[in-house]
Amino acid sequence: MADGSQVSPPVKSTHSETLAELTARARDDLDRIAHPRMPWLEPRIAPDGTQALDVLVIGGGQSGIGVACALLRAKVSNILVVDRAPRDQEGPWLSFARMRTLRSPKDYTGPDLDLPSLGYQAWHEARYGTAHWQSLDLILREDWAAYLSWVRDTTGVPVQNDTEATDIAPAENGLLAVTLKHAGHTQLRYARKIVLATGQDGAGEWWMPDFVKALPTHLRAHAADTIDFQSLRGLRVAVLGAGASAFDNAAMALEAGAAAVTLYCRRAEPQVVQPYRLITFEGFLRHLSDLDDAWRWRFMSHVLGLREGFPQPTYDRCATHTAFHLQSGSPWLSASVQQAPDGQDEVLIQTPGGPATADFLICGTGVEMNFALRPELARLAGNIATWADRYTPPEEERHDRLARFPYLAPDYSLLPRVPGQTDWMADIHLFNIASTMSFGPSGSSINAMTTAIPKLVAGLTRGLFEGDLDRHWAALKAYDTPQAVIPRA
């Protein structure tokens, strides 16, 4: 979500106490809107004698932090967020996000969940001043990452970094057992509910054609991989895909001094329309998931079938280099290694327009749904219901790739393909790119956080409440605290 325009980093405010004052104000605001304050959950005892978590959130990026903030506001405080990345490296912003700025408009709100003092604008003004905010076009991705870290600290979200979930299994007392790998050791944590806020590849893998994957790794990479762009200086680079991330990676190679960068687009013309701009309105974001399957499929298959468009500055970032070439209507049919005249390995690419050669390939080809590739979902991968299992669209709307998206319940939980088997998946809630077909922009979208997170958290709290109905009923019947004392005559 970036813009490719030239942006100079802002100068930090010399009034560092301003940000400290904002932090204090945000915490005060959270305290002022804390009604109802009464604790309502009692920890369940896990099989190992420990207290089980009420909710474990896997993924500490913007979505995971936002969900955790909303849970804390709902008085669900017995939670933990885990992320496999080190502190402040969560999400894509400081790793494989290679744009200069977010592509989302600066006034889109996100994990603040409608609390102005917790919003990005307040943070930016506190750090750089009001005048800088007013002159700002788009948000630097480094600033967005720093803002998310501030939200985490300000709200007190508990996060355990350098931690990867490697297995989820059913356990006694209606709990889930999660195997976590941390600091070279494994630990078992128990939870009533799990949220998978695992981003773009959270229900599968970053995809590239098999014939590219078969090439030696020194000759190819996915746009989401770690790439040493400086090593591409003087080389010929071929990029597959014409989405925003493909252009971002092409720009990085050009800026590193690549001799030539050719971007191959399978379409006759690259997609320049960004459909998410049109559907970012309250009715769609809040209520798409309330529609029947036919309408949900019709809307989202059209949006996702178009893929994500890119803005003018993203294209210009590449086009300003004479070494950049755009090949439309040129899918890759095959790729193989051959020896270049200088004796080095090169890649021979076959396209409908004829062969081409390159020294390094980058695939900006998105993700593929494949639950079996996710270790945390491996136990139930074969029984997760997909859209192909629940809905057959008209032939003209058929889309096999999108049919592999999971078909989710109204609370974002997984549904079984065969009812009665692996029913414990009902306590696993998917809040990543895979929730898009069922809910529209949600688990990986800034523009939908203010509507999607409350809907997810309402589902979580409903499940936690319903799971304790007997206790709540018994407590209500036993409640005898008087509100007044009436003297006896």
The pTM assigned to this predicted structure is 0.93
Total Cβ atoms within 10 A of residue 370: 15
Class of domain 2-203+369-471: alpha beta
Specify the pairing of strand 360-363 against strand 220-222: parallel
What residue spans define the domains of the chain?
2-203+369-471, 208-272+309-365
In order along its 489 residues, the chain shows pLDDT tens digits of 344 444 555 555 444 579 999 999 999 999 999 999 999 999 899 999 999 999 999 999 999 999 999 999 999 999 999 999 999 999 999 999 999 999 999 999 989 999 999 999 999 999 999 999 999 999 999 999 999 999 999 999 999 999 999 999 999 999 999 999 998 899 999 999 999 999 999 999 999 999 999 999 999 999 999 999 999 999 999 999 999 999 999 999 999 999 999 999 998 888 888 888 888 899 999 999 999 999 999 999 998 887 777 889 999 999 999 999 999 999 999 999 999 999 999 999 999 999 999 999 999 999 999 999 999 999 999 999 999 999 999 999 999 999 999 999 999 999 999 999 999 999 999 999 999 999 998 887 898 999 999 999 999 999 999 999 999 999 999 999 999 999 987
Q: What is the fold, at CATH topology level, of the domain defined by 208-272+309-365? A: FAD/NAD(P)-binding domain (3.50.50)
DSSP H helices, 33-103, are: 62-73
Q: Is residue 32 helix, strand or coil?
A: helix
Rounded to the nearest 10 degrees, the angle between the axes of helix 62-73 and helix 449-466 is 50
Rounded to the nearest 10 degrees, the angle between the axes of helix 244-255 and helix 312-319 is 30
Do 2-203+369-471 and 208-272+309-365 agree at the fold level?
yes
Specify the pairing of strand 220-222 against strand 236-240: unpaired
Rounded Cα distance between 445 and 448, Å, is: 6
Q: Is residue 89 helix, strand or coil?
A: coil
